[in-house]
Amino acid sequence: MIELIAGGARSGKSRHAMGRAESLSPSPILVATATAEDEGMAERIRRHRQERGNQWRVAEVPLELAKALGALQAGDVVVVDCLTLWLSNWLCGERPDDWPSEKAALLAVLGATAADVLLVTNEVGQGVVPMGRLSREFVDQSGWLHQEIAAISDRVTLMHFGIPTVIRHRS
């Protein structure tokens, strides 16, 4: 089962994904893509750690997401938090030209995995078109990534104000 969980900042998407994962497994896995580049992000990471129970296994994976998910097995339940941070890591990292092949690898792994994967992501395409080149590239790439993952997802959930709205559910 693949589920894409999208929403704006502070929409409740991470909390929702973690609750879903805990209902599916006594020992879910968190794949965290964030890096503590500044004090604000370090605080977010600390807060997420405090909110998690001890049953969670955690892997910090800022770049090689496809490789990490490729190691999953049937019965594993994993939350990836979050795709837009992962995309930022690629676009702003040392090898941005490798992004298309890494995205293709992720889509291939998601299409083949027997694990349950809940993918958390920020919806950033509902605002104005950004003026800066990198910002436009980020919005474009995240929109295309979200469309491709939604197309292969069994369930797509949009979060508003802590309220999940399932916009696709395939049995």
- For the annotated catalytic residues, the residue numbers are 48
CB 10 within 8 A of CB 159: no
C-alpha 91/C-alpha 60 separation (Å) is: 18
CB 58 within 8 A of CB 32: yes
List, in sequence order, every residue forming a beta bridge with 164; answer none if it has no partner: 159
Alpha carbon 47 to chain centroid, angstroms: 18
| Alpha-carbon distances of 145 from 7, 60, 130, rounded to whole Å | 15, 21, 18
CB 55 within 8 A of CB 22: yes
Look up residue 96 and give its DSSP letter: G
| Alpha-carbon distances of 5 from 35, 99, 130, 132, 141, rounded to whole Å | 21, 22, 23, 27, 17
Question: How many other CB atoms sit within 10 Å of the CB of residue 105?
Answer: 17
